[in-house]
Amino acid sequence: MDLPPGARMLDLACGSGEMLCTWARDHHITGTGVDISTVFLASARARAIELDVAEQVTFIHGDASNHVADEPVDIGACIGATWIGDGVAGTVELLRRSVRPGGILLIGEPYWRRDPPDQVTVEACHANRKDDFRPLPNLLAQFGELGCDVVEMVLADQDSWDRYIAAQWLNIRRWLDANPDDELADQMRVELATAPAQYARYQREYLGWGVFALMTR
């Protein structure tokens, strides 16, 4: 997106702050992350110190669903958490309240790669209803209906999905090895035993993921 040094960013539901911290390091931006999880925010602040960007970024504990920047920002982001605005439309409107005219909105959102054949597939892809996600052309059309131009997008392919998901299996296995007597160990053992086949049967085939850069018309 050709970010100029000093660009200001707001990241809603920022999680562990990885995007904000690495962009501060790599592109010399400043920014604020907002998240409701104190665990994630502790990780985000530690990451900012690790990357030597603690003076460039700030992390706020709070409800991202009603957070508006004190001053307009150049980039407003919500990656994988559009539930904070009750969906894509509400999240776009929320970000617009913080982004300056001509600024960029970043939305990370799943979409259907293939039409899910039944409710089992829908729920295995972390949706409650088929309508919770849209096919990619419909999602892009929705952005237009919301008065936005799509100016960039980055889509996961199946290989990058594999790398993302499989890293979770490795972490579960390492956690089980280190915590065999934990009260959650049996539950996590079942998760590890079933997750790979579940992923291959459903998410890998049916669920897509993208981050979309938008500008208001």
Residues 148-190: tens digit of each pLDDT: 999 999 999 999 999 999 999 999 999 999 999 999 999 999 9
Domain assignment of residue 19, yes or no: yes
Task: Tell me: do 166 and 211 sit in the same domain.
Answer: no
Q: What is the pLDDT of residue 2?
A: 81
Domain assignment of residue 3, yes or no: no
Average pLDDT, the chain: 96
Task: Tell me: do 179 and 211 sit in the same domain.
Answer: no
Task: Tell me: do 21 and 46 sit in the same domain.
Answer: yes
Could you tell me the residue range of the domain that residue 191 belongs to? Answer: 159-202
Q: Can you tell me the mean pLDDT for 125-134?
A: 94
CATH code of residue 135: 3.40.50.150
Task: Tell me: do 135 and 70 sit in the same domain.
Answer: yes
**From residue 190, how far is each of 81, 125, 152, 177, 201 by CA, in Å?**
27, 18, 39, 14, 17
Residue 135 predicted with pLDDT over 90: yes
Task: Tell me: do 173 and 95 sit in the same domain.
Answer: no
Cβ-proximal residues to 110 (8 Å cutoff; 6+ apart), any chain: 80, 125, 126, 127, 133, 207, 208, 209
Domain assignment of residue 2, yes or no: no
Domain assignment of residue 77, yes or no: yes
Residue 198 predicted with pLDDT over 90: yes
Confidence band of 1 (pLDDT split at 50, 70, 90): confident
Q: What is the pLDDT of residue 165?
A: 95
Q: Is 215 helix (H, G, I), strand (E, B) or coil?
A: strand
Q: What is the pLDDT of residue 105?
A: 98
Q: What is the pLDDT of residue 4?
A: 86
Task: Tell me: do 122 and 197 sit in the same domain.
Answer: no
Confidence band of 217 (pLDDT split at 50, 70, 90): very high
Task: Tell me: do 31 and 101 sit in the same domain.
Answer: yes
Q: What pTM was estimated for this model as a whole?
A: 0.91
Number of domains in the chain: 2
Task: Tell me: do 124 and 180 sit in the same domain.
Answer: no
Domain assignment of residue 1, yes or no: no
Task: Tell me: do 165 and 77 sit in the same domain.
Answer: no
